[in-house]
């Protein structure tokens, strides 16, 4: 991760196909295409990759979350339970629909704590969204049981977890709906792009229409299509899809490299008694896109993080002090800094953030360091990096 590190002839070929026929839009212009339908081809490849019946490509991972929730009927005043540790896009995508993000604690998986989820359910709760941050999963079985018992929609935000699996099922295909991002820094990149994955035909049909202004996509005349309901523009372009089509065919290659690099670093770090690792539920396999480990306390984590930066160990993140990925510094959400008026339902629904604390999440994120695993490293570079990391940690 990320896939752009290994761009090659396959990506160039797919992009040139689009440039040669001149059709950048995924719909229409049938006569000009010379048989090239990159978005459709990518959806078919992703359906096989995710072992799922339906895939709808969209313009981003953020769009994927909004489209997935909308396709299942989530909207104004509904509550969606989500974790404190994620990217800001998670709550943005919920709020765009007029729904209310209800943030709850994570556990040592660095994803949703099932006990915290159960404690946050109210009559307004419509969905539970698990965010599989840094390439791994939560307690999928426990979360599925909770959703089934309370008749809630279960959503996987697997934007950072392509290539991971749980009990033989690809991450993103376990819940009712899965969401993926293919932005510039993901294991598979389209430049910008995302996907909604599901086995539910109604959800898929809704996602297909909703992401393209409500078009029903019936027949071969776009101008004659009807609009069963309102929609928006979350379309991916053929150029973006072309890059992704090349990249998805290389996924197993990427995962093999990630696993090798991850395993080398983890094995070396495991000899430090003070270092422990995130919990991966039994039956789960990470995507190996990140290596997450814990140090004894906040002070040591901060010192190690700074030591890494000072000594050229890049792409390692201490999210406790990060503005994008942890609730601690999301002041724009807590204070509702918006360019436009926010609905009373959402404004009232987010009042809890003014006083809510997340001590359990703090205890994990304060001690966590997350290291991106790059595809471009040679094995020798990985070993040198690992030894350097050990030296820095031991010194501190």
Burial of 171 (0-12, 13-18, 19+ CB in 10 A): buried
Q: Under CATH, what is the fold of the domain 3-250?
A: 3.40.640
Q: Nearest CA to 289 among 262, 268, 316?
A: 262
Q: What is the pLDDT of residue 313?
A: 98
How many Å apart are CA 389 and CA 302, to the nearest integer?
14
Longest dimension (CA), the chain: 69
Provide the residue ranges of all domains of the chain, joining segments of one domain with +: 3-250, 252-395
Q: What is the pLDDT of residue 305?
A: 98
Q: What is the pLDDT of residue 368?
A: 98
Q: How far lies 166's CA from each of 9, 132, 140, in Å? A: 33, 12, 8
Enclosing H/E stretch for 83: strand 79-83
How many Å apart are CA 192 and CA 298, to the nearest integer?
35
Quote the pTM value: 0.97
Q: Under CATH, what is the fold of the domain 252-395?
A: 3.90.1150
Q: What is the pLDDT of residue 57?
A: 99
Q: How far lies 266's CA from each of 29, 258, 386, in Å? A: 51, 12, 8
Cβ-proximal residues to 158 (8 Å cutoff; 6+ apart), any chain? 132, 164, 171, 172, 178, 179, 180
Tell me which residues of the chain have a pLDDT lower than 50. Answer: none
Q: What is the pLDDT of residue 321?
A: 94
Q: Nearest CA to 43 among 235, 287, 255?
A: 235
């Amino acid at each position: 991760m990320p896939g752009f590190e290994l761009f090659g002839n396959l990506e160039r070929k797919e992009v040139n196909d689009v440039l040669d026929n001149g059709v950048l839009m995924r719909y229409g212009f049938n006569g000009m295409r010379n048989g090239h339908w990159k978005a459709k081809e990518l959806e078919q490849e992703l359906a096989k990759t995710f072992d799922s019946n339906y895939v709808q490509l969209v313009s981003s991972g953020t769009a994927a979350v909004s489209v997935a929730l909308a396709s299942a009927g989530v909207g104004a005043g509904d509550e969606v339970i989500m974790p404190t540790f994620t990217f800001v896009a998670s709550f943005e995508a919920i709020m765009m629909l007029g729904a209310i993000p209800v943030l709850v604690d994570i556990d040592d998986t660095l994803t949703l704590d099932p006990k915290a989820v159960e404690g946050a359910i109210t009559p307004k709760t419509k969905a539970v969204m698990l965010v599989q941050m840094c390439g791994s999963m939560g307690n999928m079985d426990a979360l599925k049981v909770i959703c089934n018992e309370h008749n809630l929609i279960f959503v996987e935000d697997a934007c950072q977890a392509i290539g991971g699996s749980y009990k033989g099922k690809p991450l993103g295909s376990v819940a009712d709906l899965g969401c993926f991002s293919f932005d510039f820094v993901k294991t598979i990149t389209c430049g910008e792009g995302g996907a909604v994955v599901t086995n539910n035909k109604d959800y898929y049909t809704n996602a297909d229409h909703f992401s393209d202004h409500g078009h029903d996509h019936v027949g071969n005349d776009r101008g004659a299509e009807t609009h069963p309901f309102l929609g928006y523009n979350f379309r991916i372009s053929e150029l973006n899809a072309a890059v992704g089509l090349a990249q998805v065919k290389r996924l197993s290659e990427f995962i093999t490299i990630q696993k090798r690099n991850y395993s080398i670093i983890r094995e070396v770090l495991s000899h430090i008694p003070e270092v422990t690792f995130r919990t991966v539920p039994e039956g789960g396999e990470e995507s190996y896109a990140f290596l997450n480990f814990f140090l004894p306390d906040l002070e040591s984590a901060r010192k190690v993080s700074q030591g890494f930066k000072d000594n050229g160990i890049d792409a390692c993140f201490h999210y406790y002090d990060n503005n994008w990925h942890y609730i601690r510094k999301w002041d724009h959400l807590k204070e509702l800094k918006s360019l436009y008026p926010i609905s009373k339902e959402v404004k009232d629904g987010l009042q809890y953030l003014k006083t809510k604390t997340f001590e359990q999440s703090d205890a994990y994120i304060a001690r966590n360091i997350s290291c991106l695993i790059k595809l471009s490293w040679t094995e020798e570079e990985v070993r040198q990096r690992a030894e350097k990391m050990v030296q820095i940690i031991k010194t501190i």
